[in-house]
Amino acid sequence: MKDAIKTHYTCPALGAKIRRVLEKAGKIPGQISLRDLAPVDQLHTGAAPATIELMEHAGLDKGMTILDAGCGIGGTSRLLAQNFGLVVHGIDLSEEFIETASMLNQWCGFAKEGIINFQHGSLLALPYPDNFFDAVLCQHVLLNIKDKPKVFAEFSRVLAPRGKLILHEIVDGPGPAPLYPVPWAGNAAASMLCSRQNIEAYAENAGFKLIFSEDKTTHAALWWEKVNAIKKARGTDPLNPSLVFGENAGSFGANMEKNFKEQAVLCVENIWVKSNFS
């Protein structure tokens, strides 16, 4: 399954592709804003506004250390540093994503060492010491992982006592089978969706206590509807998910809108606190 995931997220010369599009639009590396990159580095449902709203619920203090689990090309990591003043460690299974994330940091002015730190690695064996983080943020990542209990155990291990696990995830819904391709999988065989109840059980078994929960499915459906309407009215932005996912990206919008509207999948937000410490 790891090989299938790597294949799905493989995009040779991604950084060069993004640079060409930005330069054609008159953008200069070193003077790139987070907004400039949003069409290609904020690929989760709800994009940056959803992350900001969830992080406001989490109530983290400036200077705290957070893990961006499954960071992709670093859009959320940069957002966490800029908007919330957090020290961010981003990890991803894709070496190409980590290389691109580091390059984009330079373009956005995040060259200061120690503010954002990217590392290639697996969530099943996090390369961090015990009790290292004040918080872990996981957005649309668990749906690519089969051994979820192991991931939750790792999250618990690296979180400090009373540390927060912040989840923004897509889970299996009560409706019909999901349509594919979608951002996390080209077909059903590559998708590791599970139920909301399973997620809650895995978290509780790893020693977490739930302190916030919200179903964002209706909002997610409306968000994708808006994305599709904008695309229809304005055409496809040159900086778009196809740079990352190839031609499959053209089907994401319609499939995701229908999946959420039919509750084939649900969008949920949870905040958990680590409670299994002595």
Q: Domain boundaries in the chain?
A: 2-274
Under a CB-based contact definition with an 8 Å cutoff, are residues 146 and 202 in contact? no
The residue count of the chain comes to 278
* Domain 2-274 fold: Rossmann fold (3.40.50)
Confidence of residue 179 (pLDDT cuts 50, 70, 90): very high
Q: Is 9 a residue whose pLDDT tops 90? A: no
What per-residue confidence (pLDDT) applies to 247? 87
Reported as a single tens digit per residue, the pLDDT across 72-117 is: 999 999 999 999 999 999 999 999 999 999 999 999 988 776 799 9
More confident residue, 244 or 55: 55
202-230: average pLDDT = 98
